[in-house]
Structure 1
Amino acid sequence: MQTLNLLESQTYEYNAFKIFDLNNKDNAHRKLALMEQLQCTLELDKILNIFAIEATKYVSFSGLYFTQGDVRTAIRGSRPGRSERQFELKINNEFLGLLTYAINSPISLTNFNVLEELHQYIVHPINNAIQYKNAMSLAMQDGLTGLANRRYFDEQLKRAMHHANRQKHQVGLVVADLNKFKVINDTFGHHVGDEILKGFAKALELSVRDSDSVFRFGGDEFAIIVEEASQESLCMIEARIKKALATDALLTKYDVGCSLGYTFMHRADDEKSFFERADQALYQQKFSQPTALSLV
């Protein structure tokens, strides 16, 4: 199947009040309704689905996609067409992203011009959705290590527990902290302490599977949600963490060690009881057998 990629980079002066300057009042009302619907959500996929309903009146397409760097979304049920038509979306002549139609038949010049006008109704809602997503990502991220923070952990733990119950899978929770971190911080200064925290965060990320999630609560406290967990998978994570600590130049220089505690979710658990049991395992391990992963 041949794919045609055409970039349209024309820009048009846009005035929202032009929607009233139309001969056809029905068109004006429909476009006003479209604007109102597009402004009722900050979810990018919903914006694209709302827009697609209007766009189908002017072009036959089997898929509609928006891309901007790592941001990618598509309407429900999108699939390849006979060819593609791409439009550059811009705000004040600054590139916002690409809107791609998987088309099944050529777009007439008249409908092409209508689409160009309709795109002006979607650029600001898309931009708002992207800015909102970026702001939420920052709110869920630890500023020092780049890991997800405690707020995001609470959301993901609830989601993982719900998924495990539904799919009849085990979910494991590992909590970790650094041994004698306060001594290191006080002796060598906060700059060294920060570098050690970043190094330990990297060690944890390198020790888990793609399906697992690593979080920093603050200070030297960390957690890992292990989905579809088993005794074997948790022991493997423990071994990888030990290896990462032993091979990192900065962590070995300051003789950084850690304590780990883990547990599996019980059917009667809520998020609080699940976490508290893992935390209890951590402190049992910390003050008893510093070389072994502790389970409660």
Structure 2
Amino acid sequence: MQTLNLVENSNIDFNAFKIFTEQDKVATARKLALAEQLQTSLELNGLLNIFSMEVAKYADFSGLYFKNDELSAEARGSHLGKNERRFELRLNNDYIGTLTYALNSPISLTNFDILTELHQLLIHPINNAVKYQQALKMSMQDALTSLGNRRYFDEQLKRAMHHANRQGSKVALMIGDLNKFKQINDTHGHHIGDNILKRFASVLRQSVRDSDSVFRFGGDEFVILIEDADTNSMSIISHRVHSLIAQDSLLAQYQVSTSLGATLMTRSDTEDSFFERADQQLYANKMAQGNSVYQIK
């Protein structure tokens, strides 16, 4: 793997465009144009689309990919090639991610040098896009449990309902809270209360499929968005939740239990009516002291 590390030093009179001074005017103008285009997007896939159009002049590849520990992206139309060539991107020795070419044929030494220069133009835009995506993720995340927050839920609910209507599939909502949580919190303190909330969030994560999403609205109120749903999938998730709560030593120690309410979307539902019906079902089950979703509307 080739490592490209762009080190910035305020004591050196450094200009990113000096690397072009020995190139002909046409090549220099093209690279300057690329640098300008790369400043127009904070979206990783978009950056790779822009960059791939320029580097296609110097490498025969069928795919261009970027990946780090948290994010991944690819240029439009990417698919596997005969071989791969990876470049590790660093800025001031800080790892940004890995750029991978799916190659159809080897890169010549001359073109390899050109690609290395072009990668220097990509490092800052990629770094900015990564930081933007990280900040966006944090704005959509509950700080205590790392689940999605209410803002993220609103976006995902709208998307899921639109998808269900378009595909003729079904989506369900399951709302849950912890029974007598205020009493536990007041008696044992907020530190214990926070640990219980984090453990319950873990229980919910373990109880759902990869296609489902879990959110915390604040306090002890949680929501599960179930896609491609039916009454059987809701019952299975409910059983998993209660089973895992019973098996958890911390939750068992403080006698934590939950009430759940669930409903399937109808074609006439709005986002508000859909959520309200699940919330009403939670209230009905809680009043009946039934910690289940067998009563589904």
The alignment's TM-score, normalised by the length of structure 2, stands at 0.92
In structure 2, the partner of 1:21 is 21
User: Equivalents in 2 of 1:36, 1:79: separation in Å?
Assistant: 27
Aligned length: 290
1:289: how far off?
A: 4.1
Question: How far does the alpha carbon of each residue in 1:232-251 deviate from its partner, in whole angstroms, 9 at most, with x for none?
Answer: 11111111111112111111
User: Equivalents in 2 of 1:10, 1:200: separation in Å?
Assistant: 43
1:113 and 2:90 matched:
no
In structure 1, the partner of 2:274 is 274
1:56: how far off?
A: 0.8
User: Equivalents in 2 of 1:177, 1:108: separation in Å?
Assistant: 61
1:295: how far off?
A: 2.5
In structure 2, the partner of 1:176 is 176
User: Equivalents in 1 of 2:291, 2:74: separation in Å?
Assistant: 49
In structure 2, the partner of 1:52 is 52
Work out whether residues 19 and 31 of structure 1, in 8 Å CA contact, stay in contact via their aligned partners in 2.
no
Instruction: From 2, 26, 43, give the equivalent of 1:8.
Output: 2
Moved more, 183-192 or 203-212: 203-212
In structure 2, the partner of 1:295 is 296
Work out whether residues 260 and 282 of structure 2, in 8 Å CA contact, stay in contact via their aligned partners in 1.
yes
Question: How far does the alpha carbon of each residue in 1:68-107 deviate from its partner, in whole angstroms, 9 at most, with x for none?
Answer: 2343222222223232222222212333222222222332
Work out whether residues 4 and 89 of structure 2, in 8 Å CA contact, stay in contact via their aligned partners in 1.
no
1:210: how far off?
A: 1.5
Moved more, 154-163 or 89-98: 89-98
Which consecutive residues of structure 1, in runs of 5 or more, have no partner in the other structure?
1-6
In structure 2, the partner of 1:197 is 197
User: Equivalents in 2 of 1:223, 1:238: separation in Å?
Assistant: 12
User: Equivalents in 2 of 1:208, 1:21: separation in Å?
Assistant: 57
CA RMSD of aligned residues (A): 1.8
1:52: how far off?
A: 0.5
The alignment's TM-score, normalised by the length of structure 1, stands at 0.92
Work out whether residues 19 and 28 of structure 1, in 8 Å CA contact, stay in contact via their aligned partners in 2.
no
Q: How does 1:80-229 map to 2 (within 5 A)?
A: 80-229=80-229
In structure 2, the partner of 1:32 is 32
Work out whether residues 19 and 32 of structure 1, in 8 Å CA contact, stay in contact via their aligned partners in 2.
no
Work out whether residues 6 and 93 of structure 2, in 8 Å CA contact, stay in contact via their aligned partners in 1.
no
Percent identity over the alignment is: 57
User: Equivalents in 2 of 1:93, 1:255: separation in Å?
Assistant: 49
Moved more, 72-81 or 163-172: 72-81
User: Equivalents in 1 of 2:235, 2:25: separation in Å?
Assistant: 68
Equivalent position SS for 2:169? coil
